[in-house]
C-alpha cells in the first residue's frame, strides 16, 4: 500500500499538514465543549450567583462557537482528503493505463483483459475509499483517544474502569468481525474479475450466442459468477452490519454504566458536573476506537486491491525500447531473418525453428502453410509484438531489439487479420495515431484499399460515423479500412497478416494490383491461405510445423515443394495452376 503513495503530488503532502492542523483544532474544540457544559451545570446548581443568565448565555455562546468551529473544520478536512483521494486515484489510473499500453503480448497474456479492467477501475476505487475515509480516522483517532484519556484522568477510577471495559468489548467484537469478513473480502476482487469476464464474453460474442441459441446457457454462466459474488458480498456485509448496532449498544450501555456508578458516588453539584463531562469524554474515547476499527475493516479489501495494482505496475516489460533511430544501410526496407527460433513464454516446444531468409527493398514476400505452422508468429517478430528466442531479425542492418520502439513502429504499416476500428469517423480511423495525413492522402489510401466506393455511399463520406468496434460496417469493409490505415502511414514495410481473407477474389485482385502500382519500392509481407493472393509474390515461404520447408516463386515451388503443391491443388486445378 505504501508503494502507491509515491503517486501523490507535492501539493498532496501539503494538504496532509493542513489536515493535521485542522484535525487537532477539531479535537480541541470537541473536547472544549464538555468544559463549558460543566460550567453551566455548576452554575445551575449554585444559588446566589449574580448575573446567572448572562453567565449561562456566555458559556452557551462558547459552546455554540466550538460546535460551529468543529463543523467547519470537519468540512475542510473532508474537502482536502477528498482532493488527495481523487488525485491519487487519477494518478493511479493514468499510471496503470500507461503501463498496460507499454505491455507486449507476453505481459498481456499474463493478465486477462477482464482482470486489467477491474484493476484499473474497481481496485483503484477501493484504494481511494481507504485514503478518503482512512486518512481522517488514522490521524484523528490517536489524537482524540490520547487527549480524551488525559482529560478523564483523575475524574473517577470507577468510571475509568467502565470505559476500559467498553473499549475492550469493542476491540473483541471488531476482531471477530474482521476474522470472519477478511477471507471473503480477499475473494471479492477475484470474483469481480470473473463477473467482468462473463459480461465481456457475452457482449463481444452476442452474434455467436444468438446464432447458436445459447442465450440461456450464457445467462446461466453469468448467473453463476453473479451468485458467487453476491453471496460473498452479502456474507461480508452482514458480518459488517453487526458493527453498527453493536457500537450503538455499547455506547448506550457505557452511558448507563456511568450514570449507575454516579448514583453511588455523586455527592454534590461538582460531582454531577464531573459525571456529565466524563460521559462526554468517554464517548469520545469510544468514538476514537470506532474510527480506528472502521479503518481496519476497510483496510483488508483495500490492501488486496493495492497488491493487485502493484502487480501490474511492478511488472517488468519483456520488450524494452532500444536507442537506435536509423538503419545502417542506405537502402530502406531491407530485412533479414538470421537463424530465428521462437517459443512462447513458459512453453517447452519451439513454434519457429531456424528460420533464415532475406528480403530486398520493394520485394513482396508471402507466407503460406497449414494452420498452426507459425505464419502469423513469424511476421509478429518484425514489429516486436514478441521478441525472438534465438537468432535475430534485422531491418536496414539493425537488430529490431536495438531500434527505438516508436521509430520502429513508424517504419511499419501493420494490418491484422481481424480489422480493428475505433469509434469516430472513417477519417479518424484512417488517419490514426501520429500520421497527420492530409485529406488527399486519406482519399488516395481509401482508393488503393478499394474502400472508396462504400465510403462514398456512407452518410458524410470520409466523415461518416464508425461505431465502437466497427459494428456498423462488414468484415470486408473493416479489413479494407484497416489496410487504408496502414497505407496512409507511408511506411517502409507493409505487413498483411491474412488481411485479405474477408475479400472476394475480384476485390482481392484489384487491391493487390493497386498496391503494387502505388506502393512500388515498399517491402511487403503477406500471410494468406489463398494461392491466388500470393502466387505473384517475389518470394513465397512455405512453413510446416514451424520450419521453413520451401522458398521461391510460385512456379518453382510447384516443382520443388510437395507441401506447397498439395495446398495449391486443394484450391485450384492443374489447368488453373499452369
The residue from 283, 313, 343 where one domain ends is: 313
Binned at pLDDT 50, 70 and 90, residue 330 comes out as low
Assigned domain for 149 exists? yes
Same domain, 101 and 249: yes
For position 81, what pLDDT does the model report?
A: 92
* Same domain, yes or no: 489 and 567: yes
Q: Which domain holds residue 85?
A: 2-313
Cβ-proximal residues to 11 (8 Å cutoff; 6+ apart), any chain: none
Kindly state whether residues 306 and 350 are assigned to the same domain.
Answer: no
Please tell me whether residues 304 and 355 are part of one structural domain.
no
State what percent of residues in the chain have pLDDT above 70: 94
Which of the listed residues 313, 345, 377 is the one where a domain comes to its end? 313
Please report, for the domain that includes residue 293, its CATH number: 1.20.1560.10
- Residues 169, 227, single domain; the answer is yes
Same domain, yes or no, for 221 and 265? yes
Q: Is 408's pLDDT higher than 80?
A: yes
Q: Are residues 300 and 349 in the same domain?
A: no
User: Same domain, yes or no, for 304 and 360?
Assistant: no
Q: How many domains does the chain have?
A: 2
SS3 542: strand
Q: Please list the alpha-helical segments (H only) found in 322-404.
A: 375-380
Judge if 433 and 560 occupy the same domain.
yes
Specify the CATH number for the domain of residue 381. Answer: 3.40.50.300
Could you tell me if residue 508 is inside a domain? yes
User: What is the reported pLDDT for 193?
Assistant: 80
Pairing of strands 364-369, 539-544: parallel
* Residue that terminates a domain, selected from 282, 313, 344: 313
Average pLDDT over residues 12-30: 89
513 inside domain:
yes
Q: Coil, helix or strand for 357?
A: strand
Task: Tell me the pLDDT tens digit for each residue of 105-121.
Answer: 788 878 878 788 888 98
Q: Are the CB atoms for 522 and 466 separated by under 8 Å?
A: no
Residue 92 has pLDDT above 90, yes or no: yes
Query: For residue 482, what are the contacts with CB-CB under 8 A and spacing of at least 6?
Result: 415, 416, 419, 420, 421, 499
In angstroms, what CA-CA distances link 257 with 149, 252, 290?
18, 9, 19
Q: Which of 145-159, 347-361, 564-578 has the highest mean pLDDT?
A: 347-361
pLDDT at residue 96, as a whole number: 92
Quickly tell me which residue has 445551575 as its cell. 44
User: Across the beta sheet with 364-369, what order do the strands follow?
Assistant: 412-415, 493-497, 523-527, 364-369, 539-544, 547-552
Q: Please check whether residue 324 lies inside any domain of the structure.
A: no
321 in any annotated domain: no
For residue 326, tell me if it sits in a domain: no
Percentage of the chain with pLDDT > 90?
A: 18
Whether 456 maps to a domain, the answer reads yes
Do 287 and 377 belong together in one domain? no
Cell of 553: 516463386
pLDDT score, position 327: 60
Both 356 and 295 in one domain: the answer is no
Distance (Å, whole) CA 27 – CA 29: 5
Question: Do 398 and 307 sit in the same domain of this protein?
Answer: no
Rounded distance between C-alpha atoms, residue 528 and residue 397, angstroms:
27
In a domain, 320, yes or no: no
Q: CA nearest 391: which of 244, 212, 548?
A: 548
User: What's the mean pLDDT when you consider all of the chain?
Assistant: 84
Q: What is the DSSP string of 419-468?
A: ----SEEHHHHHS-SS----HHHHHHHHHHTT-HHHHHHSTTGGG-EE-G
Cα separation, 171 vs 175, in Å, equals: 6
Amino acid at each position: 500500500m505504501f508503494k502507491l503513495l509515491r503517486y501523490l503530488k507535492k501539493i498532496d503532502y501539503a494538504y496532509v499538514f493542513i489536515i493535521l492542523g485542522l484535525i487537532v483544532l477539531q479535537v480541541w474544540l470537541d473536547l472544549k465543549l464538555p468544559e463549558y457544559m460543566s460550567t453551566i451545570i455548576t452554575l445551575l446548581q449554585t444559588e446566589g450567583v449574580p448575573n446567572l443568565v448572562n453567565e449561562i448565555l456566555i458559556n452557551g455562546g462558547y459552546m455554540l462557537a466550538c460546535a460551529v468551529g468543529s463543523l467547519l473544520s470537519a468540512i475542510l478536512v473532508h474537502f482536502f482528503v477528498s482532493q488527495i483521494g481523487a488525485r491519487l486515484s487519477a494518478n493511479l489510473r493514468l499510471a496503470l493505463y500507461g503501463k498496460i499500453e507499454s505491455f507486449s503480448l507476453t505481459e498481456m497474456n499474463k493478465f486477462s483483459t477482464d482482470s486489467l479492467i477491474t484493476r484499473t477501475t474497481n481496485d483503484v476505487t477501493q484504494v481511494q475509499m481507504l485514503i478518503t475515509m482512512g486518512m481522517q480516522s488514522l490521524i484523528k483517532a490517536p489524537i482524540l483517544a490520547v487527549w480524551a484519556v488525559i482529560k478523564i484522568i483523575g475524574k473517577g477510577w470507577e468510571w475509568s474502569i467502565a470505559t476500559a471495559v467498553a473499549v475492550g468489548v469493542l476491540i473483541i467484537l471488531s476482531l471477530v468481525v474482521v476474522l470472519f469478513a477478511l477471507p471473503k473480502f480477499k475473494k471479492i476482487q477475484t470474483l469481480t474479475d470473473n463477473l467482468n469476464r462473463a459480461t465481456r464474453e457475452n457482449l463481444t460474442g452476442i452474434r455467436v450466442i444468438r446464432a447458436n441459441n445459447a442465450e440461456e446457457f450464457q445467462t446461466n454462466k453469468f448467473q453463476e459468477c453473479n451468485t458467487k459474488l453476491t453471496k460473498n458480498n452479502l456474507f461480508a456485509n452482514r458480518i459488517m452490519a453487526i458493527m453498527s448496532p453493536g457500537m450503538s449498544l455499547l455506547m448506550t450501555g457505557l452511558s448507563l454504566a456511568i450514570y449507575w456508578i454516579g448514583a453511588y458516588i455523586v455527592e454534590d453539584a461538582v460531582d454531577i458536573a464531573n459525571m456529565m463531562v466524563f460521559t462526554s469524554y468517554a464517548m469520545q474515547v469510544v468514538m476514537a476506537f470506532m474510527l480506528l476499527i472502521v479503518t481496519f475493516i476497510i483496510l483488508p479489501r483495500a490492501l488486496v486491491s493495492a497488491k493487485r495494482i502493484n502487480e501490474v505496475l511492478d511488472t517488468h516489460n519483456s520488450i524494452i525500447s532500444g536507442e537506435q533511430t536509423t538503419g545502417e544501410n542506405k537502402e530502406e526496407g531491407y530485412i533479414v531473418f538470421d537463424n530465428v527460433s521462437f517459443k512462447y513464454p513458459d512453453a517447452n516446444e519451439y513454434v519457429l525453428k531456424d528460420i533464415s531468409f532475406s528480403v530486398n527493398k520493394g520485394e513482396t514476400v508471402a507466407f503460406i502453410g497449414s494452420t498452426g505452422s507459425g505464419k502469423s508468429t513469424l511476421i509478429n517478430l518484425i514489429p516486436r509484438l514478441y521478441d525472438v528466442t534465438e537468432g535475430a531479425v534485422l531491418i536496414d542492418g539493425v537488430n529490431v531489439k536495438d531500434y527505438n520502439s516508436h521509430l520502429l513502429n513508424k517504419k511499419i504499416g501493420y494490418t491484422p487479420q481481424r480489422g480493428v476500428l475505433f469509434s469516430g469517423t472513417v477519417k479518424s480511423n484512417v488517419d490514426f495515431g501520429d500520421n497527420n495525413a492530409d485529406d488527399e492522402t486519406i482519399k488516395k489510401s481509401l482508393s488503393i484499399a478499394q474502400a472508396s466506393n462504400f465510403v462514398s455511399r456512407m452518410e458524410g463520406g470520409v466523415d461518416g460515423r464508425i461505431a465502437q468496434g466497427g459494428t456498423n460496417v462488414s468484415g470486408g469493409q473493416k479489413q479494407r479500412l484497416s489496410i487504408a490505415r496502414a497505407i496512409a502511414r507511408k511506411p517502409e514495410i507493409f505487413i498483411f497478416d491474412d488481411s485479405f481473407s474477408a475479400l472476394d477474389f475480384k476485390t482481392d485482385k484489384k487491391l493487390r494490383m493497386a498496391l503494387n502500382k502505388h506502393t512500388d519500392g515498399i517491402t511487403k509481407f503477406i500471410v494468406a491461405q489463398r494461392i491466388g493472393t500470393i502466387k505473384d509474390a517475389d518470394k513465397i515461404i512455405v512453413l510446416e510445423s514451424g520450419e521453413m520447408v520451401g522458398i521461391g516463386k510460385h512456379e518453382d515451388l510447384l516443382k520443388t515443394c510437395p507441401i506447397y503443391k498439395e495446398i495449391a491443388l486443394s484450391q485450384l486445378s492443374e489447368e488453373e495452376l499452369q
